Amino acid sequence: MRQKIGFIGGGQMAEALIKGIITSGLYKSEDILVAEPNESRRDHLESIYSVKAHYSNLPVFENCRVIMLAVKPQTMSMLLEDCQDRVQPQHILISIAAGLPISFYIDKLGKPKTKMVRVMPNTPALVLEGASAISRNLNVTDEELRVAEEIFLAVGEVVILDEVHLDAVTGLSGSGPAYVFSFVEALIDAGVKSGLTRAISEKLALQTVSGSVKLLKESGEHPAALRGKVTSPGGTAITALHVLEKVGFHGIIMDIVESAVNRSKELGKG
């Protein structure tokens, strides 16, 4: 029988994971415990997913071996101080807080043998289309790592990497949805500026982006090759791409990802 899983923090990402593992059949509702100080969030999670939500994190540590630390980086230090005495050698702690290295958790807990897994997910996990990267410390066995991997496979794609690469993941896929949303918003506004209604422009923009991503995935072709198939000589696409090249579109994207990577490193330093 599968052991219980606990969530400390019941926010949007925790909810996405709860939805995913229930939908996939990985865990049943009765096997999920949540510690969440906000009463309305507790009521929401209990009513929608039939999980048991508590104000205190004590029941989570007492009843669960796998524990998801789903709080913001800014409050993680306080959480670790609060639960220091509750963390036992059998617990597998999985953190989804951006920027904080595994050494941060070990140092705060003062327990070098703690089993620690660090994950960088992203918000499309809310619709079970997330991208997550996972790292572990040496206390976590291959079997225990697989437990963490299965949880995030329930909400999307997973890669397993050395922790040194997680800042790059944070800048690329962790923050990436914000870049995509901004691009789509600009496409919609461009359609409106060109005379389309907002509803029509939004429908066309969303399907264009969705269809283009699907074509990339299913064709296996390089993005440049597919772009070449759209750009006929003297046509509209090559004219528009010329503008992108003049403003340094590729460089801008690389710069914004790099800035997010650097910010992730700053968060990791405290």
Predicted pLDDT at 266: 86
Q: Which of 135, 134, 180, 181 is nearest to 157 (CA)?
A: 134
**Gap between the Cα atoms of 205 and 234, Å rounded:** 23
Contact 134, 152 (CB under 8 A): yes
Token readout for 2 is 């599968």
Predicted pLDDT at 270: 65
Please state the φ and ψ torsions of residue 114, each to the nearest 5 degrees.
-60, 135
Q: Alpha helix (H) ranges present in the chain?
A: 12-23, 39-49, 58-63, 73-83, 102-109, 142-153, 166-169, 176-193, 198-219, 223-230, 236-246, 249-268
* Helices 102-109 and 73-83, packing angle to 10 deg: 30
Predicted pLDDT at 185: 98
Sign, CA torsion 99/165/149/112? negative
Q: Look up residue 171 and give its DSSP letter.
A: I
A 10 A CB-CB count for 19 gives 19
Q: Which of 243, 255, 263 is nearest to 73 (CA)?
A: 263
Span 5-167: which CATH code?
3.40.50.720
Domain boundaries along the sequence of the chain: 5-167, 176-268
| Residue given tokens 């029509």 in the structure block | 200
Predicted pLDDT at 126: 86
- Look up the pTM and report it: 0.89
Spans in the chain with pLDDT lower than 50: 1
**Gap between the Cα atoms of 209 and 227, Å rounded:** 13
Contact 122, 174 (CB under 8 A): yes
Predicted pLDDT at 1: 40
**Gap between the Cα atoms of 221 and 114, Å rounded:** 43
Span 176-268: which CATH code?
1.10.3730.10
